[in-house]
Structure 1
Amino acid sequence: MSDSFRDSSGKRLSDYPRPSVAVDTAVLTVPIGGPLSVVQVRDQVAGDWRLPGTFVHEGERLADAVLRSLRDKAGVTGLAPRQLHVFDDPSRDDRGWVLSVAHLDVVPAAALQTALEARVTPVSEATGMVHGHDDILEFAVAQLRADHRGAPDPHGLLPSPFTMSALRGLHEAVLGERLLPDSFRRAMLPMLTATAEKRAAGPGKPAVLYRR
């Protein structure tokens, strides 16, 4: 835009203070038999654990900055994060006025490979992070839980086909609560397709396998 542009107050764009813009990503997963977890990276200077993120470079798209931060800081590639929320409280970041455009991706544990300076940790233990990352993670987890209350494994964390028991176990891990088997089954069955396959899982009759 031309520097000759002036708004209704007679000011140019350069007359206004500008925040820095960052992107931060919550990459969530559920390890087999484990709890809902998140990818964290260790800061090379401060040594603390935080969400992978970066400042957006001049002329860079948000989506490209997200993929760059995941690749360079977490060693994670091949993801497709979606924009989640803009955190714009001017006091949220102790480094100064920083807008964070938060992103979310949900990835099967088997497909998640991280760098040495990254780890997958339970969300319940991922606290005390700098730059408002706790708030970003809390928002991302709330969104993921809302997704799972309305659909069976909406992000494809389970390999298909799967048993009803495995599906319930996944939802319990995501929601962080126990679910009544009969109630869960009644809620999920209308959204699943039973296959002709069955799987033995200990004593008793083999369990029916389902697809989403």
Structure 2
Amino acid sequence: MATPQDLDRADPYRDESGRTLADYPRPSVAVDTAVLTVAAGRLRVLLVRGSDNSQGLPGTFLHPGERLAEASLRALRDKAQVVGLAPRQLMVFDDPGRDSRGWVLSVAHLDAVRADLIPLTDHSTLVPVDECPELRYDHTAIITHASATLRDAYRRLPDPWHLLEPGDGGVTIRDLRLLHEQVLGERLVADTFRRAMLPGLRRTGRVRRGTRGKPAELYRITGR
């Protein structure tokens, strides 16, 4: 198997015009990550404040020999002091004019976690996604797309991103409905919601007591 040193010594690839890859202009590659959560009854996104006092998503430029996922985790760690996440690639934002610093592609990532897993610092904050200020580098568009992706998942499944606090006994339909209302930013009809979610739940045979009214049946989310 060829080593990187072997490749460096080999004749460079040339296309039909005789040019090498280095002869073509190339964009820089950035990685920006939208970390979403539910806090204070709203769907929110993690923003960090830079050295110029501007807000934006935790992001960085891709380093030589680095994978995109590694760059995302590095930016979360270094700029937001957040560790232990597993962001997923969302999409590439490639408008040539998206970054005033030059030609920069952004490979946007998304993660959604419980708010207690996001330690806030003097340089980070959680902002409602529907009240986000206009941000540089089309970060506002990234947040809009990330929020839509998350909300689409919650319209179809009970808790695909594990935003509910885990409990030994299970969850109630009401627990799930309140979470969905916060994620979606809208009120939901209880009976319609119950029918939509039941295929993704299994009964535990137990109920939650200690609240007013009839004890609430507890469910496990299928696949957990």
Specify the alignment match of 1:104 in structure 2. 110
Give SS of 1:179's match.
coil
Unaligned runs of 5+ in 2: 1-6
SS in 1 for 2:42: coil
> Is residue 52 of structure 1 aligned with residue 58 of structure 2?
yes
Instruction: Please give the TM-score of this superposition, normalised by the length of structure 1.
Output: 0.94
Cα distance in 1, alignment partners of residues 210 and 138 from structure 2? 43
Instruction: Please tell me whether residue 194 in structure 1 is matched to residue 203 in structure 2.
Output: yes
Query: Which structure is larger by alpha-carbon Rg, 1 or 2?
Result: 2
Report the counterpart of residue 168 of structure 1 in structure 2: 177
- Contact 1:201-1:207 at 8 Å conserved across structures: no
For structure 1, the residue ranges without an aligned partner over 5 or more in a row are: none
Partner AA of 2:47 in structure 1? Q
User: Alpha-carbon deviations, 1:152-206, whole Å to 9, x = none?
Assistant: 1111111242211110111111112111100000111121112233224642112
1:184 maps to which residue?
193
- Equivalent residues in 2 for 1:95-174 (5 A)? 95-160=101-166, 161-174=170-183
Q: Give 1:37's aligned residue.
A: 44
Partner residue of 1:13 out of 9, 17, 21: 21
Say which SS state the counterpart of residue 103 (structure 1) adopts. strand
Matches within 5 A, 1:58-69: 58-69=64-75
- In 2, the alpha carbon distance for the partners of 1:16 and 1:206 equals 68
1: distance between equivalents of 2:108 and 2:188?
Answer: 30
Q: Are the aligned partners of 1:84 and 1:102 in contact in 2 as well (CA < 8 Å)? A: yes
Q: Are residues 137 and 3 of structure 1, via their aligned partners in 2, closer, same or farther at CA, if it must alter by over 3 Å?
A: farther
How far apart are 1:130 and its partner, in Å?
0.8
Once the two structures are superposed, the pairs formed by residues 54-93 of structure 1 within 5 Å of their partners are: 54-93=60-99
Structure 1 distance, partners of 2:101, 2:133, is 19
Report deviation, 1:127: 2.3
- Aligned partners of 1:27 and 1:38 also within 8 Å: yes
Which residue of the partner structure matches residue 216 of structure 2?
A: 207
Q: Deviations over 1:31-70 (max 9, x none)?
A: 2x510011110012x2021110001112221111111100
- After superposing on structure 2, the runs of 4+ consecutive aligned residues of structure 1 that deviate more than 4 Å are none
With normalisation by structure 2, the TM-score equals 0.89
Alpha-carbon separation, structure 2, partners of 1:47 and 1:26: 19
Question: Superposition RMSD on alpha carbons, in Å?
Answer: 1.5
What is the aligned partner in structure 2 of residue 27 from structure 1? 35
- Counterpart of 1:119 in 2: which secondary structure? strand
Percent identity of paired positions between Structure 1 and Structure 2: 57
Shift of 1:112: 2.1
Answer with 107-116 or 143-152: which moved more. 107-116
Cα separation, 2, equivalents of 1:57 and 1:35: 35
- Looking at structure 2, the residues matched to 88 and 68 of structure 1 have their Cα atoms a distance apart, in angstroms, of 22
